[in-house]
Amino acid sequence: MILFLLDFTNIDFDQLFGLNDETNPIMMLIWIVPIIIFVFYGQRIQLAITSGEIKKGIKKLEAYKTNSRNELIDYIKKSMNPKDDPTKKIDRFLDYFTIMPVDMDPNGIVSKVRHIVRAREDYSREHVKSLSPQTSDLELTKIQTLLEIATSLQMIYKVINHLYLTAKKQNNYPLILPLQMILPFILEEAEAMHKAIPAFKMGQPIGDGIGPMVVGKMMLDAKKESIAFQTVLSEIHYDGRKLFLLKAEGPGSTVGRPGDAVESIVSKNKPDIIIMVDAALKMEGEESAIIAQGFGAAIGGIGTERFQIEDIATKNNIPIFAIVIKQSVKEAITLMTKEIADKADSVRLQIYEMIHDNTKSGQSVLLIGVGNTMGVPQ
């Protein structure tokens, strides 16, 4: 066998590629061809790379959508034991949509939104119950929440997929850029909703329930009465003050109707201050389960309940104080962490401190535990 050994040490690469000669055609091609490619096809190349990343996110959204639908149908079959197969009816529910009222004239828009949203909730509740009329209220609230999760995930998938396909159809890179920027945030929320399903199926408390948990502990030994739809009230005395304790009726998955409850309470017994306890989204870099105090109505949602409470407080000149427990989106709607649950006693102590600082003996306080009461009794 003959071995040929090539000696590359004597090759003059400068001469081969003409690095010292600006007119060398090879070097001109090396520099000019990429420039021509990027001038004419650069946007398409960027579109292809970006599309690949977005497509991976869309596949995740599709998996979340499909899994949430399947888990909802399986849970209904096991818990409600309906006579007929509920699949077609559930699929029809998942495609329901809500058209918000015209806002060209903002006067009276809040009452219109409240009416439409509550009508939708009542409609969903009654039609879910029609699958099995003997279903308990607790199971009904759990299924209704699972239905909302599945509906939201399906809508998110449809919207993101529509934006992606539209940009790709037009070969429009600038059109796909905003989608690339917002997709990580959307995936974070979608993943949180998907991971919330087991907690709601098992009836376990979620992070958003820390407000009702604090107030619920304070009303354990007190008499409870229904003050509004899925909302309960208790009266206790603390250091010469009368406390009105308000929360959604647990342990079902509901936020109640605190706006209607506040209106009823104020019309009969005007409190001197209102204190609202709720979960709040933390900022990036902040630690979870941090307690913060502030002013104003601490309540989320579409804004109708907040508007109603603020309107009542303004008309009756009642100051509103707030205590929030900060947490991430995922922590707010998934199984409550021990770190958040352990803050309940600290929050209660801050409530008593706030009552001492802002009221006198003989005055009254309305304390509202805001949030979903899944797994949180009273």
Supply the pLDDT for residue 1. 45
Q: How far is CA 254 from CA 44, 232, 260, 286, in A?
A: 48, 12, 15, 28
Q: In the sheet where 320-327 sits, what is the strand order?
A: 225-228, 231-238, 241-248, 364-369, 273-281, 320-327, 291-295
Q: Which residue has the tokens 């809040």?
A: 110
pLDDT tens, residue by residue, 101-159: 988 888 889 999 999 999 999 998 998 898 888 889 999 999 999 999 999 999 999 99
Domain ranges for the chain, please list them: 44-202, 207-369
202 φ, ψ (degrees, to nearest 5): -90, -5
**For residue 292, which phi and psi values (nearest 5 degrees)?**
-135, 145
Farthest-apart Cα atoms in the chain, separation: 109
Residue type, 263: E
CA dist., res. 163 & res. 280, Å (int): 30
Q: CB-based contacts of 136: which residues, under 8 Å, 6+ apart?
A: none
Give the model's pLDDT for residue 9.
Answer: 58
Task: Compute φ and ψ for 327, nearest 5 degrees.
Answer: -160, 165
Residue segments in the chain with a per-residue pLDDT below the cut of 70: 1-29, 38, 42
Check residue 2 and give its pLDDT: 45
Residue 183 CA to residue 176 CA, distance in Å, equals 11
Strands 364-369, 225-228: pairing is unpaired
Which CATH fold would you assign to the domain 207-369?
Rossmann fold (3.40.50)
What is the value of pTM for the model shown? 0.85
User: Concatenated DSSP letters for 39-96?
Assistant: HHHHHHHHHHHHHHHHHHHHHHHHHHHHHHHHHHHHHHHHHT--SS--HHHHHHHHT-
Dist CA 131 CA 79 (whole Å): 11
* Residue located via tokens 């993101």: 160
pLDDT of residue 3: 46
CB 334 within 8 A of CB 171: no
Residue with tokens 């995922």: 330
